[in-house]
Structures are given as structure tokens and as C-alpha cells.
Amino acid sequence: MRSQPNRNYQSEDRVMTPPWLAKAIVQRLQPRGVILEPCAGTGNLLAALKGYGDVEWCEIDQGRDFFRYTTPVDWIITNPPWSQFGDFLEHSLRLANHVALMATVNHWWTRRRCALVQGSQFGYRRLLLIDPIREFPTTGFQLGMMVVSRNWSGLLQMQKIVNPEGPLLRVQAQPSPVTRRTVTHAPAAPAPQAAQPPQGRRRRRAPAR
């Protein structure tokens, strides 16, 4: 796991897209032409892409480094390592007309990355919001598949992908039992009485002469 700078969570780079989610993403995107999967992993996205176009793939663990891939393609669709999200985004924008990367959506919104997308003549086209899934690390940020397209100037369309397993129920930590203590209060001391002014002696008046 590699720590994200200035964040209170960590990125797990080896998280595979479950088959049901890979199919749901591809069915909604309907890619065509030459499609590149840069992080094939166990092949779940590759299997889902079968029949949609001419599918190419890379996988660093199998000696096929995405950053050495230089052939232009129509689509790039992947679940990239989040600790290298910026590098994957930058290289993908050089190669493809449509780039779909899955990550928590905050990865897209740094000023540098927004400038990179717009400066590369891309526009934000679709955002698939994904329910929390067991295979991904727990985070307070929304998981999503964002699609940016070259020369796109239309509105961003948003859609939700529902987890067929239902909402994840997380076990809440049980509060520790509180031991009640009986506190005995000492009786309050009586308030001190105000001191009485001393009584002076009466002086007899001298008889009148």
C-alpha cells in the first residue's frame, strides 16, 4: 500500500474489478473500435470487453508496460493503480479518443488534472457512480468511472451502478460499558454566621448642674 499525500487514507494498488462490475461498466459505455485495457490484472475487464471491438491489453506483472505502449487507440478503459493515477491519465490522453478510468472521484479534481484534461482538448462526458463494493478499500470518497472524450463540449452525464449484493453493512464499534459510580457527597458545612459588632458600654450622662 502506498500512502496518498495529504490524505488520511491509503491506496491499495492491487484491487481487481469484480466481474459483475466489469460487465455493468462495459454495457453502459458501449465502446467500439480499438480498445486498450492497460491494467489487465486477472482479466475481468478483458472478458467483459469481448465482442465490443479489437481489444489490446497491458499488464506490468506480465512484462507489458503501459507506459511503453505508443499506438493510438479509440478507447482506454481500466481500473488503474490509484497511486499512479496522474501518470495513467496523462499517458492515456496522448493515446485515446475516449478515456475511462475508475477511481474515487476526488482523483479527477485537482487543479493540475483539470488543467491537463482541458489542455489536452478533452471534456468530461460521463460519470458512473458506483456503490461501495467489498473488493475496494473503504474510503469516504465516492467511487466512480469517469469518461473524458476528445473535443467533447457537451454536459457531463451521471449515472449510478448499484451493487447487486445490496448496500454494504459495516459493523459499528460497540461503545464500552460505562461503570456507574455512586458518589457520596459530604453534607455541606453550615454557612458561617456574620460576626456581631461588639456592644459598647453605655456611658452615664453626668447630672446637670
Question: What are the domain boundaries of the chain?
Answer: 16-161
Q: Kindly indicate the confidence band of residue 10, based on its pLDDT and cuts at 50, 70 and 90.
A: very low
pLDDT (0 to 100) of residue 138: 77
Output the CA angle 159-144-96, nearest 5 degrees.
95
Neighbour count for residue 83 (Cβ, 10 Å): 16
Q: What are φ and ψ of residue 94, in 5° steps?
A: -75, -30
Q: Kindly indicate the confidence band of residue 191, based on its pLDDT and cuts at 50, 70 and 90.
A: low
Q: Kindly indicate the confidence band of residue 78, based on its pLDDT and cuts at 50, 70 and 90.
A: very high
Nearest to 109, CA basis, from 83, 134, 86, 92? 86
Mean pLDDT over each residue of the chain, to the nearest integer = 82
pLDDT (0 to 100) of residue 44: 96
According to CATH, the topology of domain 16-161 is Rossmann fold (3.40.50)
Q: Kindly indicate the confidence band of residue 136, based on its pLDDT and cuts at 50, 70 and 90.
A: confident
pLDDT (0 to 100) of residue 15: 80
**Residue 152 scores a pLDDT above 80:** yes
3-class SS of residue 73: strand
Average pLDDT for residues 61-78, to the nearest whole number?
97
Burial of 185 (0-12, 13-18, 19+ CB in 10 A): exposed
**Residue 201 scores a pLDDT above 50:** no
Average pLDDT for residues 103-110, to the nearest whole number?
95
pTM of the model: 0.74
Amino acid at 24: A
